[in-house]
Amino acid sequence: MPLTPAVTGIEPLKDRPEVARLVAANAEAIPDAKLDRDELTIWIDRAFIREAVALLRDDAATQYNFLADVTCVDWHPSVPRFEVVYHLLSIPRKARVRLKVRLAEDGAIESVTSVWPSANFYEREIFDLFGIHFVGHPDLRRILMPDDWEGHPLRKDYPVEGYR
Amino acid sequence: MAHLTPTPVLDSGQERTMILNMGPQHPSTHGVLRLLLEVDGESIVRMVPDIGYLHTGIEKTYEAKFYQQGVPLADRMDYLAPFHNELGFCLAVEKLLGLEIPARAQVMRVLLNELQRISSHLVWLGTHALDIGAMSVFLYCFREREDILRLFEAVGGQRMFTDYMRVGGLALEVPLDWFQRVRGFADKFPERIDEYEDLLTHNPIWTRRTKGVGYMSADDLRAIGVTGPCLRAAGVDWDLRRDMPYSGYEKFQFKVPVATESDVYARYLVRVEELRESNKIVLQALDGMPSGPIKADAPHVVLPDREKMKTQMEALIYHFKIVTEGFNVPAGEVYQAIESPRGELGFYIVSDGTPKPYRVHVRAPSFANLQSLAKMCEGKLIADVVAAIGSIDIVLGDVDR
C-alpha cells in the first residue's frame, strides 16, 4: 500500500467514534489526533488518561476491551521529553487505536492498572527502563534490571554499550 | 524521580508459611524464570514471578542498528518461533515504507510461519508432557521437529535462527526439491499427531493432572492481557490470522480451534488442533504457490541479486549504498501485530526518517501471558504450578527481551 499523507488535527477526524467519544467527554484534554498509515493516534492530557482508557473500554460505540501494550518513547533532548504510548484493541470491532501522553522528565502519570490489570507488568517495565513514575501502581519495582541497577537503560542519554 | 528503595518481594510475617524459590534453574520453568512461592505445606498462598535473567537489551540494540540488521536480532527474541519475529519486524518496516511485496514471497512467508508454528507447538507439547511425566511424547515430538528444522536448514542455511526474511521479501530462492520435501513432511504429519493424541488425550494420568487445573475465566484472561491459545481455550474466538489478516492469510481456509473449559487440558486440546490446522495451511500454500520474484522491486531497499551485481554498475552502487548507509525510512510510527504461537506479537516502530529506527518496542506475548500465572496457581498445589507454567507456553527469551 503506497503511502498517503497523514491526516492531522481533531476536526478532520471528528467522525471517528474514538475521537468523538473522547472529545465529547473532555474536549480540553484532547490536544491532537493523527491518522497515519491507517493507524489512529490520539494525544491525551496527562490527567485524563485513566478516564480515557475506561471510557473507550465501556462505551458501546468503541468497545476497546483489550489493552495490548503500554510503552514509552524518549524524545530527548526535546521538551516534553517522554511520550507514553497505549495500544488498545477492540476484539468485537476488530479495530486498534493508539493513545499518547506527553510527559516531562520528572513528570508522574496515573497508572491504568485499576482499569486494566495487564498494565501491571507493562508499567513496571517502563518504570524500570525509562524511570517514569506511575501513581497508584500496586507494585512499582524494577522488573528486568536488578534492583540495585543505576540509571534507566532505554533513555537516549544512556550509552548503548553501558557505562562499564 | 528518586530511586525507590527495593522492597522485600515476599514478607508475609506468618508463622505457618515458608518462602520457596522455584527456579531460576528448575527444569520445569522452561528457562530462567524464578518463582517466589509462599507455601503452606503443599499449597500455594502467594506467588510472585521474578523475570529478567535473560534480559538482552534488544530494544536498545535496535536503536544502534540499520533496519536491515534488525532481522537477525528479531530471530533471537522468541527462540522457538524465529520466523514469526522476522515476519512481524519485516511487516512493520514494510508498513512504514509503504512497500508491496510479491505474491510468491507472501505465500512463502505464510508457509514458513505455519511450519514454525508446528515446530514451536511440538517443543511445547514435548516439554509440557515431560514436566508432567510423559517421556515418550517428548521423544516423538522432537523427532518431527527435527524434520522441520532440516527443512529450515535447507532453505536458510541454519536450523533455528534462519535469518531468511528480508524487508521487501525473502533472502534467497528455495532449493529445487524443497517443496517436495515439505509435502512429504506434511503428508505424513497428521498420522503423527494421532500418535501424540493416542499417548495423551485419553490417558487417565494425563487427564487427572490437567483437567480442572489452572482455570481462569475468559474475562479475567482478557483483563490481564493473555492472548493466543490460552485465550481461545477460554472460549474467546479471536485469531489475528483470521480477524485482522496480514501477509495474505485471508486467502487460506482454516478453522480457529476454540474450547471453553479454560483449564490446562483445554489448552492442550486447542494447541493439538492448531497443529492440524497449521498442517492444512502448509498444504494449501504448497498447492497455491505462485511463481515469480521473491523480492520487491525496490532497489533502494532490497539488495540486488549477486548475478546482477557482477554485471550491472547500478546494482553494485545500490548494494554498496544499502550495506554501508542503510535505507531511509519515512518518518512515522506503526504497530504491526501478528499471531505468534503464543499470542499477539506486536512490533511498534518509531522512525525519524533516518536509516536507523528511533525506537523499537516489542509487545511480547509471553511477557503478558506470564501475568496470569499467579492467579492460576494461588490456592493450588505445587505440582499444579508445573502444569500451569507448561500450559501458558512461555519462552523466556520472549519474556525478557
Residues B237, B359: Cα–Cα separation, whole Å: 32
Write the pLDDT tens digit of every residue in A46-63.
888 889 999 899 888 888
Q: Give A1's pLDDT tier (boundaries 50, 70, 90).
A: low
B335 touches chain A (CB under 8 A): yes
In order of B184, B203, B377, the CA distances from B206 in angstroms are: 31, 5, 18
Q: For an interface test with A, give the residue of B1, B47, B375, B396 to mutate (most A CBs within 10 A).
A: B1
- Per cent of chain B over pLDDT 90 is 38
Q: How confident is the model at residue B30 (pLDDT cuts 50, 70, 90)?
A: confident
What pLDDT, on the 0 to 100 scale, is given for residue B13?
62
pLDDT of residue B279: 93
The grid coordinates of residue B224 equal 490481564
Q: Which of A37, A69, A106 sits opposite B95 (nearest CB)?
A: A37
Tell me the nearest-neighbour CA distance from A61 into chain B, angstroms. 19
Cα separation, A91 vs A50, in Å, equals 20
Answer for the pair B90, B296: CB distance below 8 angstroms, yes or no: no
* Residues B322 and B304: beta-carbon distance below 8 Å: no
Q: Which of chain B's residues have a Cβ under 8 Å away from the Cβ of A153?
A: 57, 60
Q: What's the gap in Å between the CA of B92 and the closest CA on chain A? A: 11
B57: pLDDT strictly greater than 50: yes
Task: Kindly list the distances between the CA atom of residue A7 and the CA atoms of A4, A39, A149, B305, in Å, as whole numbers in the listed order.
Answer: 9, 10, 42, 38
pLDDT (0 to 100) of residue A151? 86
Strands (E), A45-81: 66-74
Q: Determine the 3-state secondary structure of B234 from DSSP.
A: coil
Give the largest Cα separation in chain B, rounded: 80
pLDDT given for residue B380 in this prediction: 87
Q: What mean pLDDT is predicted for residues B295-299?
A: 88
Give per-residue pLDDT as tens, B159-200: 888 889 989 889 888 898 999 999 999 999 999 999 889 888
Q: What's the rounded mean pLDDT across residues B55-79? A: 89
What is the per-residue pLDDT for B10? 64
pLDDT tens-place string over residues A74-123: 988 888 899 999 999 998 889 999 999 998 888 889 999 999 999 999 99
Return the residue of A nearest to B220 by Cα.
A117
pLDDT at position B6 is: 43
Contact B363/A68, CB-based, under 8 Å? yes
- pLDDT tens-digit readout, B1-27: 444 444 455 665 667 788 888 878 877
Give the relative orientation of helices B103-132 and B382-392 as an angle to the nearest 10 degrees.
170
Q: Is the dihedral of CA B74, B76, B82, B83 positive or negative?
A: positive
Mutation for testing the B interface, residue in A64, A132, A144, A145 having most B CBs under 10 Å: A144
Q: In this predicted structure, what is the pLDDT of residue A164?
A: 67
Comparing CB atoms, the residue among A36, A73, A150 nearest residue B359 is A73
Of the partner residues B334, B346, B363, the one whose CB lies closest to the CB of residue A37: B334
Residue B82 predicted with pLDDT over 50: yes
Round to whole Å and give the CA distance between A65 and A67.
7
| CB–CB contact B225 A118 (8 Å) | yes
Mean local confidence (pLDDT), A32-47: 89
Are the beta carbons of A141 and A122 closer than 8 angstroms? no
For residue B133, what pLDDT is reported?
Answer: 84
> In the structure grid, which three cell numbers stand for residue A25, read together?
467527554
Q: What is the DSSP letter of A159?
A: -
pTM of the model: 0.92
Report the residue from B225, B332, B361 with minimal CB separation from A37. Answer: B332
Closest CB to B348: pick one of A1, A69, A143: A69
B268 in reach of chain A (CB within 8 A): no
Answer whether B330 sits within 8 Å of A98, measured CB to CB: no
Rounded average pLDDT over B267-283: 92
Give helix then strand counts, H and E, for chain B.
17, 8
- Confidence check: pLDDT of B351 > 50: yes
All residues of chain B having their beta carbon less than 8 Å from the beta carbon of residue A84 are none
Using CB atoms within 10 A of its CB, is residue B316 exposed (0-12), middle (13-18) or buried (19+)? middle
Q: Residue range B247-268: average pLDDT?
A: 90
Predicted pLDDT at B324 = 92
Distance from the Cα of B68 to chain A's closest Cα (Å) equals 19
